[in-house]
Structure 1
Amino acid sequence: MKNILLIGGSHGIGLTIIEQLKESHKIYVASRSNDSLDHGNITHIPFDVTKDELDLSKLPEQIDGFVYCPGSINLKPFKMMSMDTFTEDMQLNFFCLVKVVKEIIGRMSDDSSMVFFSTVAVGTGMPFHTSVAAAKGAIEGFAKSMAAEYAPKTRVNVIAPSLVDTPLAKRLLNNDKKREAMGERHPMKRVGETSDIANIAVFLLSDKSSWMTGQIIGVDGGLSTLNVN
């Protein structure tokens, strides 16, 4: 039974990943809340990634899979973006990720896998995304360098979604008109579901992706590569 560590995971994509893995993996979830995590194979570790030190004594000596879930969506015109917003987005999305990775990298097993999250807006320039795209772009560069440095022991891949129906995106999808408009932007004519992203994350954590590392995988309803409108 593999040991999987998720930072975040009480809601949204992380929770869906857990639902898919919990029957066949030992899962450690370091997050602020313990909602919906009542299962014999799940160990919850109270943890605020922006404030707390990760309690390594609660983790196994060998970690087979790692997923970093925390993220932000701050969409505003650049002239309305404060420096504090850029700093906070970079801190949550990137620097906190690096901090945790430094703490656990020594415990990653042979043939282990790390999964990070970016955004379609890094590879496809979009207005009002300057802060989040900058922070997620840092993740993509970091992941490729880590993949090169730690191959073949640890694989490192990144999922770059478009808009997904999660609590984080609630403000953008809080009525039917908004949801329809957001869906129409995508060639697949809908926004993403958490399962769309979790399915790829679970694949990347599994041995089925054992020849994949250093990849940025777009799961975005075709938005990054197709123009059908």
Structure 2
Amino acid sequence: MDKFGKRFQGKVAIVTASTQGIGFGIAERLGLEGASVVISSRKQKNVDEAVESLRSKGIEALGLVCHVSNALHRKNLIEKTIQRYGRIDVIVSNAAANPSVEPILNTKESVLDKLWEINVKASILLLQDAAPHLQKGSSVIFISSIAGFNPPPAMSMYGVTKTALFGLTKAIAAELAPNTRVNCISPGFVPTNFASFITSNNEMRKALEEKTLLNRLGEVGDMAAAAAFLASDEASYITGENLVVAGGQPSRL
């Protein structure tokens, strides 16, 4: 298991929505590189299983139920992390929802609210709680999406919330400088549960693969490697940036 370095020895990392998919992959990678990781999601069963999986690989892990739109859950996530480890060095804000495939002009207000609340506002509120505990040299990473550059029809409002994270990255990087770096990762299509409606359809999957220059979809490990780089001291002169990890898919506004 020592094929990775130990860039995060003695560091503490919080990853939201991290019991499966990209979030879990990032938590696992940071843990394998020596971090104590705090993982969370909405269901206790998922949290317990993910913690067990991490610990079986020798990773120090704390698991908590956290629905990111719940203020008490967010505060508890930060408080329990500080109680257990006394510090926060890395925060990866990964939670997202995509409850609608409607065009924006047909989307109900309650759905617009949910998209905004989970995909953008919760990240801000979590950082408001966490900021006083961030160590010098710490790192915050927002997980955006290739959809933020050109929101596709079936995910249009979701895409717009991901566009907002690009601006949020710039703004919070300025606010938290010089002690904390803030960056963003924009994954391409990765076959996880979250994207299963796209990636489980063979024709759609093939069409997506052909849109990339590398002729393949992304893997969780690709995103985890990018997050580990941005969170590490190797990226100590990078802040306010967006790293696109999408196999060469077009990524300009």
Same fold (TM over 0.5): yes
Letter in 1 for 2:20: H
Letter in 2 for 1:29: I
> Which stretches in structure 1 are left out of the alignment for 5+ residues?
none
Structure 2 equivalent of residue 193 of structure 1: 219
Q: Residues 218 and 224 of structure 1 are in contact (CA less than 8 Å); yes or no, is this contact kept in structure 2?
A: no
Letter in 1 for 2:167: G
Q: Give the alignment's Cα RMSD to 1 decimal.
A: 1.8
The whole-number CA distance in structure 2 between the counterparts of 1:83 and 1:59 is: 35
Question: Which whole-Å deviations, capped at 9, do the CAs of 1:87-116 have from their partners, x for residues lacking one?
Answer: 211111011111111000110000000000
Question: Which whole-Å deviations, capped at 9, do the CAs of 1:25-62 have from their partners, x for residues lacking one?
Answer: 11111322313221150001121112351213311232
Runs of 4 or more, structure 1, over 4 Å off, are none
Q: 1:25 aligns with which of 31, 35, 40?
A: 35
Relative to its length, the structure with more helix (as a share) is: 2
Structure 2 equivalent of residue 36 of structure 1: 50
Question: Which whole-Å deviations, capped at 9, do the CAs of 1:177-218 have from their partners, x for residues lacking one?
Answer: 222122112222222111111110011111111110000111
Question: Which whole-Å deviations, capped at 9, do the CAs of 1:103-135 have from their partners, x for residues lacking one?
Answer: 001100000000001122222354344311221
The whole-number CA distance in structure 1 between the counterparts of 2:199 and 2:102 is: 16
The whole-number CA distance in structure 2 between the counterparts of 1:157 and 1:146 is: 9
Q: Residues 85 and 131 of structure 1 are in contact (CA less than 8 Å); yes or no, is this contact kept in structure 2?
A: no
1:1-229 matches, within 5 Å, as 1-23=10-32, 24-32=34-42, 33-34=46-47, 35-38=49-52, 39=55, 41-53=60-72, 54=74, 55=76, 56-60=78-82, 61-73=86-98, 74-124=100-150, 126-225=152-251
State the percentage of identical aligned residues: 27
TM-score between the two structures when normalised by the length of structure 2: 0.83
The whole-number CA distance in structure 1 between the counterparts of 2:87 and 2:70 is: 25
Letter in 2 for 1:25: A
Q: Residues 64 and 111 of structure 1 are in contact (CA less than 8 Å); yes or no, is this contact kept in structure 2?
A: yes
> Which stretches in structure 2 are left out of the alignment for 5+ residues?
1-9
Corresponding residue pairs, total: 226
Letter in 1 for 2:122: C
TM-score between the two structures when normalised by the length of structure 1: 0.91
Letter in 2 for 1:31: S
Q: Residues 188 and 247 of structure 2 are in contact (CA less than 8 Å); yes or no, is this contact kept in structure 1?
A: yes
How many Å apart are 1:78 and its aligned residue? 3.3
